Amino acid sequence: MEVVRLLHMNKGAGETSYAQNSKVQSKIISIAKPMIEEALVEILSKNIPESVGIADLGCSSGPNTLSVISQIMYMIHGQCCHMGRSSPEFRLFLNDLYSNDFNDIFVSLPAFYNKIKEEKGIGFGSCFVFGAPGSFYGRLFPGNSLHFVHSSSSLHWLSQVPPGLESNASTALNKGKLYISKSSPKCVLDAYSLQFHNDFSSFLKSRSLEVVSGGRMVLTLMGRSTSDATTEDSCYHWELLAQALMSMVSEGLVKEEMVDSFNAPYYAPCAEELKMAIENDGSFMVDRLEAFEIEWDGGCGIMNDPFERGVRVAKTIRAVVESMLESQFGKHIMDDLFRRYAWLVGDYLASSKTKYVNLVVSLVKKDLRAQENKDYCISDALRISSVRLRKWKASFLRQIKSVFKVMSKIY
Amino acid sequence: MEVVRLLHMNKGAGETSYAQNSKVQSKIISIAKPMIEEALVEILSKNIPESVGIADLGCSSGPNTLSVISQIMYMIHGQCCHMGRSSPEFRLFLNDLYSNDFNDIFVSLPAFYNKIKEEKGIGFGSCFVFGAPGSFYGRLFPGNSLHFVHSSSSLHWLSQVPPGLESNASTALNKGKLYISKSSPKCVLDAYSLQFHNDFSSFLKSRSLEVVSGGRMVLTLMGRSTSDATTEDSCYHWELLAQALMSMVSEGLVKEEMVDSFNAPYYAPCAEELKMAIENDGSFMVDRLEAFEIEWDGGCGIMNDPFERGVRVAKTIRAVVESMLESQFGKHIMDDLFRRYAWLVGDYLASSKTKYVNLVVSLVKKDLRAQENKDYCISDALRISSVRLRKWKASFLRQIKSVFKVMSKIY
């Protein structure tokens, strides 16, 4: 599966669109908000750049997209007002994969600019919005151009299906499943873990070249609560989707080999894995790393009938994964599949309290040049000391010699 | 008419799409190519920035879009190779109005990046493509961020229909016409000329803040050969479109008031108008300004049957103006309208040699700070001179006094 070409949220504004079904992601953004604010205050406490570069990675399209970047701008503006300063020029980069619906975002920009003018007056800093299409597992921005990077509900998407699990692999290693499951062999777990590690390292490597020293990133992604990758909170929504597909296999509506050969380009890491990848890379420092739980339907109307919740969850998941499933199983089974899925989710939620686990991490770009300078200074100091030592030794030897000369004359 | 919302080239890749019907624009780009090359050599002869900011304003979507920016990059790369330098980092900004089909451009980017890698090898400078949606009659980019600005076949589109000629105006001043015509009253000509002057001044004002000192712009736009705004080379393609609409009025297919109240947000200036606007603004210097002619169908198959040429011209014009005409006259008349138009154009070309006139101008951003510094230096020199003068006067007076003292003692 070509993830770069195929992965995109459902376009438009219809019933199955991401725009209509992104409340869970909106809730996650709102939970991470205080950490974003804290990071921005830290950036501004050092100095206020004349032009601030901000990127939202995996911005998608829909109500969350422009709401995130306006929140970030307003926080900076508020902090500047608090400090009696005028707000800086904003360079806002919206990133997602090439097939994201950027047209939908761009046509809503005139209303967005008008809203800013209405809410903040004309004294608000100039603000330029750019589309930055491409994979965040590679370079996206010029060197040292960003002060703040945000990404929410995106980094659990891998750059590719882990090697050995692709749809054209000679042996199906993860039969009847779409992701890590209790029944998956260890090689499947290892392949997923390694792919995540490689991808997240590439992400950090690229960002370390783009973010200025002292710049910050706040990232949220799906995760898990324990080191056990088969824990229900990290994979059970995939388990149920596999069950829905297998029920269609049993009725002859879907070929079993199609399910066997499909694996999601997704990984929910635990906090330790994230921390380890960041420490291994070495260019960012973890300021805060937290985990929080969220209901499968975002928690809206939690008292409702579980089957109603099942329908809501199915819609949320459909808006996100449909583009990939369609390429494997065809468009024609989607309505039936998600009807079955909604029922299975409802049934599960009636007797279970499983929630999604999200990780949120706030990172600071280390001042690598200062570090290099420090290293240089130390080596310089050592070099100077050794020169001094040699001089002192030579002068000591000269003195000793002269003492010997004098003594040899006396005696 | 909300130009910002309605003006866009026909989307997609179908028979009436801009992608399939932009050969005239491609021809215009190729004619301006040597001037672009000259401008880039000039920029690089002074210094090669580590990161070059390039913008294509009114980029549209289709084969021309990425071909222009790759040509510009390749020219810079070639010049760098010639000078034995590695090529810089490229920041490429594609601009068009909010409703342009950016999705179409973005999905073709992976192939674009691969082509560069194949053609130029991995040693080619990093290259980042951004979508920059918005009107070029306002600010689009951060201050001092661009080294080269290109715009082709776009600046003849005004920011709005000139005041007094809007579709909701109380009196229809330009009856039965869509643009300046031999029969248009003088007030129509004046309104168009003024709107162009205001728009082009806004364009220069915005760009002067965005382009670095010594940075360059190469702009091509539709123009005319004389100061007479009703000369056929500037307006006859509109005259024929008005005739096609009026033939539908006579058959009761279109309401006459609809034609009377529609005026195109378009203006083809003469070279002197362009020059005057640039001189009035004062932040750019004209390096070269030239006019060239081009066949209505781009010159491909000029020996063909005029009616075949009529069909080609009608397709080219339809791909560009359909979005606006649709909003006024409705989608249902478009096929009929452009069939009639093709016939009228064919008939006209059978007996006429009228061509489009294009203006191409190469501009250099003045070093305004150096100018300010120069002014400052002169005033500084004057200040210093006056201080010296005062000192010299004081010393002269002291000497005179002492001479008088000595003399008074003698006598």
Share of chain B above pLDDT 90, in %: 37
Residue A57, beta-bridge partner list? A95, A151
Instruction: List the single best residue of B102, B116, B146 to mutate versus A (max A Cβ within 10 A).
Output: B102
State the pLDDT confidence band at A135, using cuts at 50, 70 and 90.
very high
Q: What one-letter code names the amino acid at B255? A: K
Residues 6+ away with beta carbon under 8 Å from B289: B271, B274, B275, B359, B360, B361, B362
Phi, psi (degrees; rounded to nearest 5) at A230? -100, 10
Place of tokens 């997923």: A192
What is the model's pLDDT at position B400?
65
Place of tokens 């000029």: B302
Distance CA B340, CA B244 (A): 6
Q: Which of A208, A236, A206, A205 is nearest to A222 (CA)?
A: A236
Instruction: List the single best residue of B61, B95, B103 to mutate versus A (max A Cβ within 10 A).
Output: B103
Distance CA B243, CA B241 (A): 5
Q: What one-letter code names the amino acid at B274? A: L
Place of tokens 């291994």: A280
What is the model's pLDDT at position B207?
97
Q: Measured between CB atoms, which of A51, A110, A133 is closest to B142?
A: A51
Pull the structure tokens for residue A302.
Answer: 């939690």
The stretch A38-64 carries a mean pLDDT of 89
Pull the structure tokens for residue A3.
Answer: 């993830």
CB contacts of B107 in chain A (<8 Å) are: 5, 98-99
What is the model's pLDDT at position B271?
94
State the pLDDT confidence band at B378, using cuts at 50, 70 and 90.
very low
What is the model's pLDDT at position B403?
62
**Average model confidence (pLDDT) across chain B:** 84
Place of tokens 């500084």: B380
Q: How far are the Cα atoms of A405, B368, B376, B377 from residue B380, in angstroms, in the given order?
A: 69, 18, 6, 5
Place of tokens 């929504």: A237
Using the predicted structure, report yes or no on whether residue A388 has a pLDDT greater than 70.
no
Q: For residue B409, what is the enclosing H or E element? A: helix B368-410
Phi, psi (degrees; rounded to nearest 5) at A367? -85, 90
- Shortest alpha-carbon distance between residue B66 and chain A (Å): 14
pLDDT, one tens digit per residue, over A53-68 is 999 999 988 888 898 8
- Shortest alpha-carbon distance between residue B168 and chain A (Å): 22
User: Cβ–Cβ contacts within 10 Å for residue B147, how many?
Assistant: 24
Distance CA B47, CA A6 (A): 42
Q: Measured between CB atoms, which of A4, A51, A102 is closest to B103?
A: A102
Using the predicted structure, report yes or no on whether residue B259 has a pLDDT greater than 90.
no
pLDDT, one tens digit per residue, over B397-410 is 677 677 667 666 65
Number of separate helices (H) and strands (E) present in chain A: 12, 7
User: In chain B, what's the furthest Cα-to-Cα distance?
Assistant: 117
Residues 6+ away with beta carbon under 8 Å from A198: none
Question: Minimum mean pLDDT among A90-104, B19-33, B275-289, B315-329: which range?
Answer: B19-33
Q: Measured between CB atoms, which of B98, B102, B103 is closest to A110?
A: B98
pLDDT, one tens digit per residue, over A206-253 is 999 999 999 999 999 999 999 898 888 888 888 898 888 888 888 998
Pull the structure tokens for residue A325.
Answer: 């499933």
DSSP states along A296-329:
TTTTTTTTS-HHHHHHHHHHHHHHHHHHHHHHHH
pLDDT, one tens digit per residue, over B17-39 is 767 666 777 777 788 889 898 89
User: Cβ–Cβ contacts within 10 Å for residue B61, how many?
Assistant: 27
What is the model's pLDDT at position B309?
83
pLDDT, one tens digit per residue, over B181-220 is 888 889 989 999 999 999 999 999 999 999 999 999 999 9
CB contacts of B142 in chain A (<8 Å) are: 51, 89, 91, 126, 128
State the pLDDT confidence band at A179, using cuts at 50, 70 and 90.
very high
- Shortest alpha-carbon distance between residue A126 and chain B (Å): 8
Using the predicted structure, report yes or no on whether residue B296 has a pLDDT greater than 70.
yes
Cβ separation of B141 and A132 shorter than 8 Å?
no
Using the predicted structure, report yes or no on whether residue B258 has a pLDDT greater than 90.
no
**Is the CB of residue B58 less than 8 Å from the CB of residue B152?**
yes
pLDDT, one tens digit per residue, over A146-155 is 999 999 989 9
Distance CA A271, CA A289 (A): 8
Q: Which of B105, B240, B86, B89 is nearest to B178 (CA)?
A: B240
Pull the structure tokens for residue A111.
Answer: 């209303």
**Is the CB of residue B269 less than 8 Å from the CB of residue B224?**
yes
Q: Beta B356-365 vs B211-223: how paired, if at all?
A: antiparallel
Question: Minimum mean pLDDT among A21-35, B62-76, B257-271, B322-336: which range?
Answer: A21-35
Cβ separation of A129 and B133 shorter than 8 Å?
yes
**Is the CB of residue B38 less than 8 Å from the CB of residue B362?**
yes
Q: Measured between CB atoms, which of A99, A139, A141 is closest to B107?
A: A99
Q: Measured between CB atoms, which of A99, A128, A143 is closest to B142?
A: A128
Domain locations along chain A: 3-379
Distance CA B121, CA A51 (A): 34
Residues 6+ away with beta carbon under 8 Å from A103: B99, B101, B102, B103
User: Which value, in Å, is the radius of gyration of the alpha carbons in chain B?
Assistant: 28
User: Cβ–Cβ contacts within 10 Å for residue A227, how many?
Assistant: 11
Using CB atoms within 10 Å of the CB of residue B202, give its burial: 0 to 12 exposed, 13 to 18 middle, 19+ buried. middle
User: Cβ–Cβ contacts within 10 Å for residue B207, how many?
Assistant: 26
What is the model's pLDDT at position A378?
46
Alpha-carbon torsion (B282, B288, B291, B297), positive or negative: negative
What is the model's pLDDT at position A404?
63
The stretch A74-99 carries a mean pLDDT of 91
Residues 6+ away with beta carbon under 8 Å from A74: A120
pLDDT greater at residue B2 or residue A103: A103
Cβ separation of B107 and A98 shorter than 8 Å?
yes
Residues 6+ away with beta carbon under 8 Å from A186: none
What is the model's pLDDT at position A139?
94
Domain spanning A3-379 has what CATH number? 3.40.50.150
HSE-up of A180 (CA within 13 Å, CB side)? 23
User: Cβ–Cβ contacts within 10 Å for residue B190, how many?
Assistant: 13
**Is the CB of residue B59 less than 8 Å from the CB of residue B20?**
no
Q: Beta A284-294 vs A127-133: how paired, if at all?
A: unpaired
Class of the domain covering B3-366: alpha beta
Q: Which of B198, B93, B92 is nearest to B137 (CA)?
A: B198
pLDDT greater at residue A276 or residue B378: A276
